[in-house]
Amino acid sequence: MKTGTSRIYLDNATTTRIDPAVLEEMYEFEKRCWGVPAQIHTPGREARRALDASRERIARCLGVGEEEITFTSGATEANSLALFGAAQSPGRQRNGNHHIITSSVEHPSVLRACETLEGQGFEVTYLPVNSEGLVDPDDVARAIKDDTILISILLAEGETGAIQPVRDIANIAGARGITFHTDAAQAVGKIPVHPPDLGADLLSVSAHKFHGPKGIGVLYTRSGTRITPLLRGGPEQDTLRPGTVNVANCVGMAAALELASSRLENDMPRVVALRDRLLEGVTSIGCPIRPNGPKDDKNRLPGSLCLLFEGLEAEALLMNLDSAGVYIGAGNACASGALDPSSVLLATGLSRLDALNSIRISLSRDNSLRDVELALERFGSVVCRLRSVPV
């Protein structure tokens, strides 16, 4: 990248830049409060008040009760706590309930948890998706067995931006008395997310996906839903997630969620307009391009764009754009540092070659029209250069 070249970040599905207002609130808290909430002296009580206030702020944004919020280190831990906690809750194994339903496009933290549960004797059904990356609720209904105890289907997927029909799936689960979990990490801050409206018993959230700090998340657990802790320790968070809580991160998550929630109605239409302008511009640069994922905007996250560049390797495009100061995502990183084809795109029916030729662009409220126009200039230059390279 040339010195002075503007850096344009278009990989917000991976992580977002922490909002300066969030960072300032965390900094001010850390300056004045260093206690541990479990202590009864003044610094401890100050930390406890900040922790309780953060939980209340997050609960209010999600439309749930404060007692239903458990802080975790992120969505990966929240997903593990939800799946292992629900599968291994008291009485379930003893009663022989061993069947779990999930999808083929879940986050690795869900898929790996399910694989581990299979090794422990649970049966897991991995549902397919259609060419748009969507789960069919009828497939969920058909997969249910008498011993199904848990259904886990993500709310939105980060590669294609596909928003799953979670409300319909939750209704199916609820009618059969089956616990329903959804990984909402990619959705919160981009679309309205209220667990009661979705019908979720368990819901996972990660702060760094909506301009909050890394290393903090939440598991919403509907009152009355039985899960068992993964960790053993002290009485923190009613023993469901013992261990000293990072209160500053909780404060930051609460601040970030309040900002995202209050700005959602104004920010997301602007993000959609930027995405549409980017798609319009990219399709006019002289390279055959095909969008992946949902065709209908109501089934797609506002800032998500997944594009197949026919005849161009995504890895080469990613690396050349990186040199030009444009940062996007593509595929799955493998041990060698190269890219493997996206497992999500393969699940939608794309060939290995088409998956390897696909990129992911994800915008956020931080992006501007200037970002998009500069990115389009650099896309055009990079694509022209790559297409002129002899094969």
Q: How far apart are CA 87 and CA 93, in angstroms?
A: 8
Burial of 286 (0-12, 13-18, 19+ CB in 10 A): exposed
Q: How many CB atoms lie within 10 A of CB 297?
A: 13
Residue with tokens 């390797």: 313
Q: Is 334 a catalytic residue?
A: yes
Q: What CA–CA distances, in Å, run from 234 to 38, 129, 207, 227, 231? A: 9, 42, 25, 17, 10
Local confidence pLDDT in tens for the 391 residues of the chain: 554 568 999 999 999 999 999 999 999 999 988 878 877 788 788 889 999 999 999 999 999 999 999 999 999 999 999 999 999 887 665 556 689 999 999 999 999 999 999 999 999 999 999 999 999 999 999 999 999 999 999 999 999 999 999 999 999 999 999 999 999 999 999 999 999 999 999 999 999 999 999 999 999 999 999 999 888 877 677 778 878 889 999 999 999 999 999 999 999 999 999 999 999 999 998 788 999 999 999 999 999 999 999 989 999 999 999 999 999 998 765 444 567 899 999 999 999 999 999 999 999 999 999 999 999 999 999 998 998 865 4
Is 0.85 topped by the overall pTM?
A: yes
Length of the chain: 391
Structure tokens at 330: 């593509």
The b/e string for 117-148 (b: 16+ C-beta within 10 A; e otherwise) is: beeeebebbbbebeebbbbebebbeebbeeeb
Decide: helix, strand or coil at residue 100: strand
Q: Exactly one of 33, 61, 287, 334 is catalytic; which is it?
A: 334
In degrees and rounded to multiples of 5, residue 326 shows phi and psi of -115, 125
